[in-house]
Amino acid sequence: MSVLTSAAVTAPERMSPRHKLILTLLLGAQFMLAIDFSILNVALPVVGKGLGFGLGQLQWIATAFALPAAGFTLLFGRVADLAGRRRMLLAGMALLAAGSLVGGLAASPAMLLTGRVLQGLATAIATPAALSLLTTSFPEGPMRTRALGLSGALMSAGFTVGAVLGGVLTDLLSWRWAFLINVPVAVLILAVTPSLVAESRSRDGARLDVPGAVTVTGGLLALVYGITTAGQHGWGDPVALAALAAAVVLLVAFVLVERRSPAPLAPLNVLTRRSVSWGNAGGFVAFATETSLVFLMTLYLQQVLGFSPLTTGLALGVLGAGTFAGGVAAPRIMGRFGGRATLVGGLVLQAAATAALLGLGTDRSALPLLLAATAIGGFGNLVAIVAFMGTATSGLPDGEQGLATGLATMTQQVAITLGIPVMSAIATAHASVLGGVHAATLANALIALAGGALAGLFLRRS
């Protein structure tokens, strides 16, 4: 147990000034990493024109980040347990600064994609480490729930804020600042962290499960690549089908390896805990539906109503405000009703608000409906996300927090990565943009509702 955890146990209800500084630092790192996922989304056409990307190549700007961010998260979450969580956070921040500098100074498509790959790897390294430090620095109970609530609010809101910030920077300065803005923040975190955050690692003496790491990383990479490719080229695309088949083989192999490994990367007794498995299932639905809804509303605002990237980003800022309010309120809701009811209630509220968006039309008179529904849905989404994080990391010793937070982070990254191509495939199957947005929005609402129902059915009160 770390020094910070021991200190926290003596004062479980109130944060000391030092804990508040630690919380600010770790949340700042997570927020910056979350922003990076979407900050270039509204600027893709400008980036493509500036560097000579073809229309069919633009999706690789997002995919180059998403593949390593989703594929390597579970591996680096376990590495953080063994090698030290603070050490991995610092390594991730250093790599983020380097990748952001490469992307910001890019003179060719290859150089920009290299920067995005480095940013994705940095996210896979630093995000589970920061979340592990958060859970091991605060004892299970009100303080940890409050910290996870703020973490969930900022991580989810970061996706929306990234779209807003990307639009502002692109319109007022240059898309290059979407990369370069990370450099001074990462350097500040590198300078402050060693003196503020104590090192934390697992004391069980276990070694890294290399066969498990290879199979799960390869399986996740193949899964993300396959679904992304299918979303772009159709579900009958042979490359997509081959990648998905490889993903199934590798992930089945991972389960078999874990059964026989003396020191498994992801012990099956942890993965089969109801709180871990169904908590992560609920979190997957929450992240996949809300982030893909941001994509659908961006499509609606720009291609149906004709708004600019900057105006689109500002309109989506209302959703960001709703998510932040949900993150702040969620710890109290969870403390009163418990994780199961909070997760279910958040997803049901999100589904109802999303269904209301079926009233959007071709004129701007429905804009108040969009603003109200996205704000309410964002509130419900963040309530569900905080419940997911609290549920999926509860009841586990410090030595397994890296695994638990690695799973939670992997759930977030894979859900964000897969939600958009799936909803995009539904939307583009229709002849009109508005018809496609309506079809995908209905699917989005039904998935959120189903996720809430399944979580309510299979999660038991502790």
State the CATH number of the domain containing residue 393: 1.20.1250.20
- CA gap 136, 133 in Å, rounded: 5
Task: Tell me the residue range of the domain where 95 lies.
Answer: 19-199
N-term to C-term CA, the chain: 24
Query: Do 328 and 252 share a domain, yes or no?
Result: no
Strands (E), 30-88: none
- Which pTM was predicted? 0.71
- CA gap 458, 462 in Å, rounded: 12
Domain assignment present for 10: no
Query: Do 107 and 170 share a domain, yes or no?
Result: yes
- CA gap 410, 405 in Å, rounded: 8
Query: Do 273 and 419 share a domain, yes or no?
Result: yes
pLDDT, tens digit (0-9, with 9 covering 90-100), for 16-46: 677 778 778 887 787 777 777 667 766 666 7
What is residue 3's predicted lDDT score, i.e. its pLDDT? 36
CA dihedral 145, 334, 413, 237 (to 10 degrees): 170
Query: Do 400 and 447 share a domain, yes or no?
Result: yes
- Inter-helix orientation angle 339-356/274-299, to 10°: 20
- What is the residue whose two structure tokens read 């490469």? 102
Domain assignment present for 391: yes
CB 67 within 8 A of CB 149: no
Answer yes or no: is pLDDT of 2 > 70: no
Query: Do 25 and 43 share a domain, yes or no?
Result: yes
Average pLDDT, the chain: 78
- CA gap 427, 438 in Å, rounded: 8
Domain assignment present for 27: yes
Length of the chain: 462
- What is the residue whose two structure tokens read 């994509």? 295
Query: Do 240 and 316 share a domain, yes or no?
Result: no
Query: Do 376 and 443 share a domain, yes or no?
Result: yes
Query: Do 188 and 307 share a domain, yes or no?
Result: no
What is residue 343's predicted lDDT score, i.e. its pLDDT? 86
Query: Do 138 and 161 share a domain, yes or no?
Result: yes
State mean pLDDT over 320-328: 79
Query: Do 143 and 238 share a domain, yes or no?
Result: no
Q: Which amino acid is at 164?
A: V
Query: Do 418 and 437 share a domain, yes or no?
Result: yes
Instruction: Quickly list H helices, 359-400.
Output: 367-392
**Which pair of tokens denotes residue 352?**
């109802």
Domain count, the chain: 3
Domain assignment present for 127: yes
**Which pair of tokens denotes residue 441?**
């929005």
State mean pLDDT over 285-294: 86
State the DSSP code for 93: H
Query: Do 277 and 406 share a domain, yes or no?
Result: yes
